[in-house]
Structure 1
Amino acid sequence: MKVPSLILCLVLVCTLNCYGARVVVTVPPSIAEIQMLSGGTSAVLEHLRNRFSSQVSSLEEHYRLKMLTKEVEQASNLWEEQKKGYADRVSSLRNSYISKLSFTIGSINIAISPESSSLGDIMFHYAVHNSSDRIITDITFRPSIGSKVLPTTTALVLEFIHPQTLKLGLAPGETMTNNGHDPERFQFFIGNLSREELQQIRSDLSGSFAIEVLDLHFSSEKGYKGHIRVMDVEEAFEAQLKPIRNTLMKTETELASRRNAHALAQEAFSSDRRKVMAEYTSAVEKLKRSSLRYKSAVDSKKGRSIFEDIDVGTYLLYATNETGEAIFEEINVHEGKNQLTIHALREDPFLP
């Protein structure tokens, strides 16, 4: 009667081994559910990712994006270089003619405005000589006393209007003065100056007052204000600047053409890439569904998930949170209890 003993032995063996393994996974608090995917999922995913990358690279080559981007960059650099060259030429002309104006400052007076203690008045006489070959109508200037630039209410403009004829314009070789006539006057902010600075201005006024010419205008003839054409540097030297400006405009047109070609190619590329992306996303979602073996909710209080009755083997532990971070880790499940702690999350490899 040994048969019953054998049956009992088989029942005991089955009782001990017919139940699967137990897996306990501790995870960061942002994870709500964990999935166990089949072990071969990583290899299939890598294949899908490589195919996606290859398709995108092929699209980039097809639409010549790298070449078009380089062409835009080169055209942009050339345009910036030529624009700077043009600006430097304008600045050089401006500075050249500014240097040909000689100022002599005559009597100077300073007064605190009676209606406002925050403003001061400076009145001065001057003589100016034009040693250039152009008629200069006016200047924009910045006043200073010693090393202190005076803070003014507005940009200061000095028009060269002859006190007797009232005609605008300082001709080549001509000297103009307002001596014996009303002085030039401007206001500056006293509130921006310390008591010591204001005292220094009072004491140094006659010896260290100066004006720095920042800009100037020209005319082809002298005449009454409003009856002659006043030109800035670019207008006055249009003939000299025209070749540089034409080159700059040609480069600007070429740059616009390059940018347009790049934009059209980028638009077409993006459209095709969205299609490739949709195919990849569909394939990935299908892979997730077909490779899913087990899933378990995370106990939010204990921060862990428990899988019961799991077949022994290799699995891919996968989970995501709301910000797109993921658990993506291969594990080997053996008989009995398996315990694993995930300390950090990573970028979701399923995302392209």
Structure 2
Amino acid sequence: MSDGREDVLRRVLEAEAAKVEVRPDALAVIRARTARRGRWLPFGAIALTAATATAATLVVVALGGSPAPDRTAPDPGAVTAPATTPAPATSAPETSAPAVPPPSRSSASSGTSTASLAVYYVGDDGGKPRLYREFHRLPAGDGSPAAKVRAAVTEMLTQESADDPDYASAWPAGVRVEDVSIAGSAATVHLSAAPPDDLAGQQLVWTVAAVLGGDPRVRLVVGDRPAGTLRKAPALDTLASLWLIGPGHGATVARTFEVHAAGAVFEATARLTVRAGRTVVTEKTITLSAGAPARGEARITLTLAPGTYVLELYALSAADGSVQHLDDHTVTVR
């Protein structure tokens, strides 16, 4: 841009990234986890240069550390479910309806309440392992905060529980939640094993924070021994740059439905492409409520004929026009 704002922002972010120690196997780990699901980004894998790898590394928290929470962006946690807004009336014979969430992979017990809970997973954001969020309707015991945390963390630990096959858990199979207790702004989570790495720790603390709100302290207990305290790392360094919040992957929607997008991108500008097979049905520019480094949101209404579509949310590079930060969901319009 002629005012140089993009260059200034890039220099600031590169300066911060230069302070981070690169974990050399980060991309290999997330690529291995998602590759086994049989699907990768349709635009292909992106090679990492040394500078890109440095900028891509998550700022993570050692189990004993407590970095200051990010104060430059609105809190993406503390949200219990995607909001639904009635769509404007159209000439279509079918009226608007909110997205129908796919069935949860957890089975509800008789007599327990259910809740729509945010669960964080790991996905590839242009070669960077980042956290993505889904909402799952889960059995929540007595409906207390402790019961909701237990339900959300149990779902997070369950292998292949994500609706979107591009997402995975950073935790190994077999880790169990043994107990959860809440005291003020702190949660104590008893697990059968410690997080295998810092990324898994961040997946846990962001999932807990989505239930409790804010930046709670998450005290870990493994077996009968304390294993440290986690806090959220800054959103800009931890969360994916763009989320397609709704409709969720696999959802069935009415002909007129709402698309809910969120993220932190340059000049708050994202693109939405709707495809039916290889055919581009529509393309729209989306302006989020805030630009990077803050996280903004936007909602737009689409009307489509019945069928199966892929919704692609992404940003375009100001340097070369390439696609960046792609998040895509397949939905069925009835």
TM-score of the superposed pair, with normalisation by structure 2: 0.18
Report the structure number with the largest CA radius of gyration.
1
TM-score of the superposed pair, with normalisation by structure 1: 0.18
User: Larger relative contact order (C-alpha < 8 A, sep ≥ 6)?
Assistant: 1
